[in-house]
Amino acid sequence: MGGSGECKSEAYLIVSLTLGLVGSGTQALKAGDVVIEYHPHSKRGTRIVSMEEFKASFIDNSDPTSPPDDEPWRPFRSREDFEFAELVHDASLNRPQIEKFIKLIRRCQDAPGSLTFQKYSDLKDSLESASKILTPVTIYSASTSN
C-alpha cells in the first residue's frame, strides 16, 4: 500500500491472441498487450501497455546494498518494541502473561544482573536442579486379574 492511501490492488489480464479488438477505451489491442484493470475503489481507469513496458515495471533499480528503510520496525517506537511484539505473538502469550513478562523485564532493567540466564541450557540446568529437591514420585503399575 502506498503512503498516500492509494489503492495498489491491480488485476492483470494478459491478452495474447487478439488483433484489432477494441478495449474499454478506443485503443486497439495488439497480440501480447497487457490490460491492467484496477480495483474499482482505486478510481483508476483501465490501462493497456505493451509486454515490454509491463515487464519493465517489475525491474527493481534500487541499490541492493542499502537497506530499503532506516526504521523498518515502524510503526513501533523502537526495534526492541517490534521484536518484543513479535516474540509474544509467536509464543501465543495471553494478556496476563504479557503483562507479567513486561514487569519482569522492567525489574531486570531496574536491577541489572538480576537475570543470570545467558542461554537455554542455563535455564534447563536450573530446572533440573530444582526438580531434584522436590518430593520424589514413584509410579507403580497395578493390574487386576480375574
- Using one digit for the tens of pLDDT, what is the confidence trace for 117-138? 999 999 999 998 988 888 777 7
Residue 63 has a pLDDT of 67
Cell numbers at residue 15, please? Answer: 491478452
Confidence band of 35 (pLDDT split at 50, 70, 90): confident
d(CA 8, CA 121): 48
Residue 97 has a pLDDT of 96
